Structure 1
Amino acid sequence: MRVLFATNPHKSIFQYMAPLTWALRTAGHEVRFASQPAFTPTLTQAGLTAVPVGRRQNPFRMLDFVDPEVIAASRVGLPTPWDVTQDPERATWDHLRDGYELAVGSLREDNFPMIADLVEFARQWRPDLVLWEPFAYAGAIAATAVGAAHARLLFGIDVFGVARGHFLRRRAERPAERCTDPMADWLGGYARKYGGEFSEAMVSGHFTVDQFPRSLQVEAPELDYVRCQFIPYGGPATVPKWLWQAPEKPRVALTMGLTATDVYDSYTVNTQEVLDALADLDIELVATIADAEKARLRRVPDNARLVPYVPIHHLAPTCSAFIHHAGAATLATVARHPVPHLSLHYHWDQPILARKLTAHGAGLDLHTSRATGQAVRTAVQRLLTEPQFTARAAALRDETLALPTPNQLVPRLEELTARHRATPA
C-alpha cells in the first residue's frame, strides 16, 4: 500500500515518526513524507523520500510578535483547550469553546502553507493511508479529499483527543442553536472545498497510533488507539569512546532537552546550582549541556562530564539514575531500561508524564519552580539508595517492551487501512 506521512516542520516531532516510516518501508510498502520545503534536508537525512509542499515558514515565527509575558504564561501549562487534560474541572463549555477558537487560529496559520500542495500531491499519488502528527491537520484534509484511511501518530500525552472528548460531551448538553464548533467550521470548510463533508475523523483520525505504555498515557474513551513501542531516533549521532566501557561509579545523567536552547533562551532550572549540589556525591555525572549554556557556568565539578549531545539510547543503559525534563522522547527512551527517573517538569504535557511516572513508582518528580539544588540532590540520593525505584523502573521497562515493535504493528495498520479506506486498493 501507499503511505503518506505529514508533519509541520518540527524536528523533535518528526523524530517520533521516523521509525514507523522505516517499518512500513521494510515491510514493502511505498512511503512518502510531506512537509514544508525547508524541512526537506531533515527528511532526506533520515533516508526518506520527501515531498516538499507549500512555502517555507518558521513554525516559531509567531513568537516574535507576541508579548513576552504571554509566552511565559503559555510555557507554564498547556494552552487552552488542551489544559483540561491536566485540570478536568476547567472543562466547561465556555472554556473549551473559547479555547478552540484560539487554537484554531494558530493551527490555521501553521497548516495553511501546506494544504493546497498536499491535497494536489495526494490526488496524484493516491495514498491508501495518511499518518499525521496532531498539529498537522493538513494531513487529515488531504486524506479526506482522496478517501484515504488516516490516523494521528502521537508524540506524547493525547491532550488533543482528551480535550476533544470533553468538548463533544459539553456540546451535546447544549441546544443545537447555541453550539459552535471552531474545529468543525475550519476543517469542514476544507472538506467541502475538496468535494467532501466534515467528519469527526478529521479532528482525531480514523484511529490513533500511540507509542507509550498505557500506564503513562491519558486516553479519550471515544477513540480507537493502537499501541507500539517507542523506538528512539535522534538523527545523526556517534558513540563517544568514554561510553564504550561500563562506568566505575554509579552514572547519573542530566539532560533538559534540546528545545530549551534551540527555541527558547535557556534551561528551566539553575544548571550551576544543580551541578554544585551534586558535586560531592560519589557518582559520575554526565550532563548534556548546550555550548551556549556551558559558557554561562562559573565552575564544573570534578565528578561531572559535560557534553553538548550524546545519544540517549546509548547513554541510558549505562546509568543508575536519569534526571530529565520529562520530555516525552527522553522519558520514553529511558523507560526502555530499568533506570529510575527524576523528572524536572515545566510545561505542555511534561507535568502529566512526570506525575504518572512517579505514580508508577519508577521515579520522582519536581516542578522546576521547586527544583532547587538541594531538592535535586535529595531526590537523586533516594533514587540511588532505595531499591524500589529500580524495581518499578524495571516493571515499566517490561511493560514498554511487551508492546509491538513498529514492524510488528504493520499488519494491524494494513488491516485498519482496508477497513477505513474509501478508495480502491
Structure 2
Amino acid sequence: MRVLFTAYAEKTHFLGMVPLAWALRNAGHEVRVASQPELTGVITGAGLTAVPVGRDHILHRLVGMTKEQAPSAPQPPSYDLAEDRPEVLTWKYLKEGYGAQFVPWWARVVNDPMIGELTEFCRHWKPDLVIWEPVTYAGAIAAKACGAAHARMLWSLDLFTRMRGHYLRARAEHAPHERDAMAEWLGARAAKAGTTFSEEMTTGHFTIDPTPASLRLDLPHTYLPLRYIPYNGVAVVPSWLHTPPAKPRVCLTLGTSATERLDGYSVSVQDVLTSLADLDVEIVATLPEKQQAELHHVPDNTRLVSFVPLHALAPTCSAVISHGGSGTFLTMAGQGVPQLIEPFMFDDELRAERLAGQGAGLVMHGRDASGPRVREHLLRLLEEPSFAESAGRLRAEIEAMPTPNELVPQLERLTAEHRGTTAR
C-alpha cells in the first residue's frame, strides 16, 4: 500500500515518525513524507522521500511578537491546553481559549499554508493511508478528499482530544447554538477540497500512541500502542561513550526547541552546574555552542557537548535532569533512567507529574528551579533505590509495547477497514 506521513515543519514533531516510516518501507510499502519546504533536508536526511508542499509556517516568529508589533496577527494563547480543572473549564474559558486562540493561532497558522498543495498531491498519488502529526489537520483534510484511511501519530499526551471533548461538552450544555470554531475552520477548508467536515478529522480513524498505558490519559478513543524507538537525526557516537563511566553519569539536557525556536531555557544552566560541582558524578551537559560560550565557569565534573545521540547516552546514565520533552522523556524512560524534570511547556508538567506518580522520577516546578533544589532532588534520585526500581518497571512496560515492525500488520488491517469510508 501507499503510506503518506505528514507533519507541519517542526523537526521534533517529525522525528518520532521516522522508525515507523522505516518499518513500513521494510515491509514493502511505498512511503513518502509531505511537509513544508523547511523540513525537506530533515526528511531526506532520514533516508525518506520528501514531498515539499505549500509555504513554511511562521508560528515561531509569531510567538515573539506583541499585539503592537503585529496587530493583525493571531496572538499566542493565554490559556493552557493541559487544563483539566472543572472550575476553570467554563464555556467562556473554552470559547476564548480553544475556540478563539488554539484554532486560529496554532491550527490555522501551521496548516493553512500547506492544505491546498497537500490535497492536490494526495489526489495525484492516491495514498491508502495518511499518518499525520496531531496538529497537522491538513493531513485529515487531504485524506478525506482522496478517500484514504488516516491516523494521528502522537508526540505528546493526547491533550488535543481531551480539550476538544471539554469544549464540545461545554458548548452543548451552555451555548448549543454558537459556532464550533474547529468544525467551522476545518469545514471551510474541507469545502475547498471538495469534501465536508466530520469529527474523525480531529482525531483520525485511530491514533498511534507511544505513551505507555500507565501514563496515558483515559479517553474514549481507539489508540494503537507503539513502542517509542529513538531517532535523533544523523549522528555519530563519540569515542568516550565506548567506555563505561567510572562514576554515576547524569545527563543534563534541556531540549532543542528552547534555543532553536523559542527564547531559551527556563532554568539557569550555570546555577545548576555550579550547585553540582562538588558531587562525585559525571555531568554530561548537552548545550549548543552559543549557550556553552555564555557559561563563566565549567566545573571539573562536567563534560560539555553540543550534541550526542540521546539513545546512545541514555543506557550509561544513572539519572537525567531535563525539561521533560517527549523525545527525551520516552528515550530515558525506555532505558529505565530516573528523571528529574523541570517542565518547560505544553504537556511537560502533566507528563512529569504522572511519572512522579509512578515513583520513577521527580518534578521541579519553575518556582523551585534553582541550583540548590536541583542538587537536592538529584541526590534523592541517585541515593534512594526506589526510583531506579520504579523506572525499571516503566522500562519493562515500554519494552512490552509493539515495535514499529509489529505494528505494521495492524496498520494494514485498519487501512483496509477505513479506506474509502470518508471519501466525498
Fold match (TM-score > 0.5): yes
Q: Give the equivalent residue in structure 2 for 1:131.
A: 131
Shift of 1:198: 1.2
Q: CA deviation at 1:31?
A: 0.8
1:47-58 equivalences in 2 (<5 Å): 47-58=47-58
1:11 matched residue in structure 2: 11
The corresponding residue for 1:392 is 390
Structure 1 residue corresponding to 2:401, chosen from 403, 408, 411: 403
2:15 aligned partner, one-letter code: Q
Cα distance per residue 1:121-175 (max 9 Å; x no partner)? 1111111111111111110110111111111110111110110111222233246
Distance 1:48 1:349 in 2: 29
Judging changes above 3 Å, is the alpha-carbon distance between structure 1 residues 205 and 17 closer, same or farther for their aligned structure 2 residues?
same
Offset, 1:64: 4.6
**Using a 3 Å threshold, how does the CA distance of structure 1 residues 37 and 394 change in structure 2: closer, same or farther?**
same
Aligned to 1:46: 46
Q: Output the amino acid matched with 2:101.
A: L
Partner Cα distance (1:363, 1:13) in 2: 24
Structure 2 Cα separation of the partners of residues 295 and 193 of structure 1 = 50
- Please tell me whether residue 273 in structure 1 is matched to residue 271 in structure 2: yes
Preserved contact between residue 9 and residue 56 of structure 2 (Cα < 8 Å): no
**Cα contact 1:91–1:166 (8 A) shared by 2:** yes
Could you tell me how far 1:81 is from its partner in structure 2? 6.3
Give runs of aligned pairs for residues 17-416 of structure 1, distance below 5 A: 17-66=17-66, 80=79, 82-85=81-84, 87-99=85-97, 100-106=99-105, 107-174=107-174, 176=176, 178-221=177-220, 223-416=221-414
SS in 2 for 1:233: coil
2:333–2:394 Cα contact (<8 Å) kept: yes
* Amino acid corresponding to residue 47 of structure 2 in structure 1: G
Read off the aligned partner of 1:4 and give its amino acid letter: L
Percent identity (aligned): 50
- CA apart distance, 1:48: 0.7
Aligned amino acid, residue 169 of structure 1: R
Decide whether the 8 Å contact of 1:158 with 1:219 is kept in 2: no
Moved more, 119-128 or 57-66: 57-66
| CA pair 68-415 structure 1, distance change in 2 beyond 3 A | farther
8 A contact 1:93–1:171 mirrored in 2: yes
Unaligned runs of 5+ in 1: none
Counterparts of 1:69 and 1:299 in 2: how far apart (Å)?
37
Of stretches 178-187 and 193-202 in structure 1, the one that deviates more from structure 2 is 193-202
Cα distance between partner residues in 1 of 2:294 and 2:175: 58
Amino acid at match of 2:110: D
How much does 1:203 deviate?
A: 1.1
Contact 2:103 2:182 in 1 (8 A): yes
Query: Comparing both structures, which one devotes a greater share of its residues to helix?
Result: 1
Relative distance call for 1:118 and 1:362 in structure 2 (3 A) is same
Is contact 1:252-1:283 (8 Å) kept?
yes
Deviations 1:359-412 (A, max 9, x none): 010011101321211111111111111100000000000011110001111111
Counterpart of 2:224 in 1: which secondary structure?
Answer: strand
Aligned mates of 2:365, 2:306 — CA distance in 1: 24
AA aligned opposite 2:3 = V
Distance 2:218 2:66 in 1: 32
One-letter amino acid matched to 1:215: S
The answer as to whether partners of 2:338 and 2:381 remain within 8 angstroms in 1 is yes
State the one-letter code of the partner of 1:26: N
- Does structure 2 conserve the Cα–Cα contact (< 8 Å) formed by 1:6 and 1:33? yes
191 and 266 in structure 1: CA distance in 2 versus 1, 3 angstrom threshold = closer
TM value normalised by structure 1: 0.93
Shift of 1:89: 3.3
Amino acid at match of 1:20: L
Which consecutive unaligned segments of at least 5 residues does structure 2 have? Answer: none
The 1:81/1:341 distance shift into structure 2, 3 A limit, reads closer
Is the CA contact 1:154–1:209 (under 8 Å) kept in the aligned structure 2?
yes
